[in-house]
Chain A
Amino acid sequence: MPGQPDPDAALMLRVKRGDTAAFAELVEKYKHPVMNLVARLIRDEAEAEDVAQNVFIQVHKSAARYQPSAKFTTWLFTIARNLCLNEIRRRARHPTDSIDATHPHDDDQPARQFPDAKNFSPDHAALHGELELKIEEALASLPENQRTAIILFQRQEMSYEEIAGVIGTSLSATKSLIFRGREVLKERLKAYLQTGDWPSEK
């Protein structure tokens, strides 16, 4: 592996030798990034936590076969994306598991409860209101591969090469995905981006 040694790869090699503390450290470090990707790919926050947990369970199961030939994050997010795609395909085969289904004993209640998206905690004051909802909607409208590429690029600050490794495409195709996705987002969000209440840099 070129460049700086990967500290996460070192942790993962300890996990391979049965070090539970190293595994817990990796889970703590990546639970939010994994959850951010999973929730935005499967578009179901109620199920997202289960899928996110399964990502780490799969990481642990695969520890024996882990080789630090690529960055740990490339491997981790490849597992996350694959589990999300499995979940999306499972739902496509069983459309009766609709998130819009009503409760079996009460038609006035949804089968699943979701957190109120407008109930922002004080920690989320940096970006609030309609802009956040519009961004999430615009992201959700993108094809899965563009959405994945943009989330990993913008939120995880992964390189084009790493993202190409996760999605399984070439470097040029990855750049194209990110470019096209951003063009769609800019078009859909232009009114908000031009006039909205603007957060300062984090």
Chain B
Amino acid sequence: MKQESENGLDARLDAALRALPDKPVASNFTARVLDAVGRAEVLEPARREFFLTGWLPRFAPAALALVAALLTYQVRTEARSVALARGLAAVSQVASLPGPDVLKDFETVRHLSRAPAADVELLALMQ
């Protein structure tokens, strides 16, 4: 019974919503839309012309100067990066020194590398 009542309400709601009248529309609605579209098509070339002859010449030099400044900044930043990279490359070569193993015989080598003092008396006799 409840289900039938619910179904009845659903059906009546469906019918009521479908039967709502259309909202009124002016008889010249389509003509006004076509007119507005036609005017927009006329305005569009005028807007383009304003952009080319009004806006662009006024702001283009400033825009170009800004682009040039940004490019210069970028080039300088890149040059600094390149210099830094070269410096790092040079340091990295120093890092290829022999390891601490060679210092194992350091004391021996140090003693051997000491040159003996000159024998001055012998030198004088030889002359």
A residues neighboring B (CB under 8 Å) = 20, 23-24, 27-28, 31-32, 35-36, 39-40, 45, 48-49, 52-53, 56-57, 60-61, 115, 120, 123-124, 126-127, 131-132, 135-136, 150, 154-155, 182, 185-186, 189-190, 193-194, 198-202
Which 8 A-B residue pairings sit nearest by Cβ, starting from the closest? A127-B19, A154-B17, A39-B23, A124-B21, A193-B12, A27-B30, A32-B22, A56-B33
A194 touches B16 (CB 8 A): no
> Chain A: interface secondary structure?
helix
Provide the residues of chain A in CB contact with B17, threshold 8 Å. Answer: 135, 150, 154-155, 185
Q: What string of 1s and 0s marks CB contacts (under 8 Å) between B6-37 and chain A?
A: 00011011111111111111100110111011
Interface membership of B66, Cβ < 8 A: no
Instruction: Give 17 A-B contacts (CB < 8 Å), ordered by A residue.
Output: A35-B23, A52-B25, A52-B29, A115-B24, A126-B19, A127-B19, A127-B21, A135-B16, A135-B20, A154-B18, A155-B17, A155-B18, A182-B10, A193-B9, A193-B12, A198-B15, A199-B15
A190 touches B20 (CB 8 A): no
Interface membership of B71, Cβ < 8 A: no
Interface membership of B40, Cβ < 8 A: yes
Q: How far is the CB of A180 from chain B (nearest CB, A)?
A: 13
A57 with B40: in contact, given A24-B30, A155-B17, A186-B9 (CB under 8 Å)?
Answer: yes
Provide the residues of chain A in CB contact with B34, threshold 8 Å. Answer: 20, 23-24, 27
Q: Give the complex CA separation of A115 and B21 in angstroms.
A: 14
Q: Give the complex CA separation of A194 and B21 in angstroms.
A: 21
Provide the residues of chain B in CB contact with A27, threshold 8 Å. Answer: 29-30, 33-34
Selected contact of B25 from candidates A35, A60, A189, A193, CB within 8 Å: A35
Q: Give the complex CA separation of A27 and B40 in angstroms.
A: 17
Q: Give the complex CA separation of A200 and B22 in angstroms.
A: 17
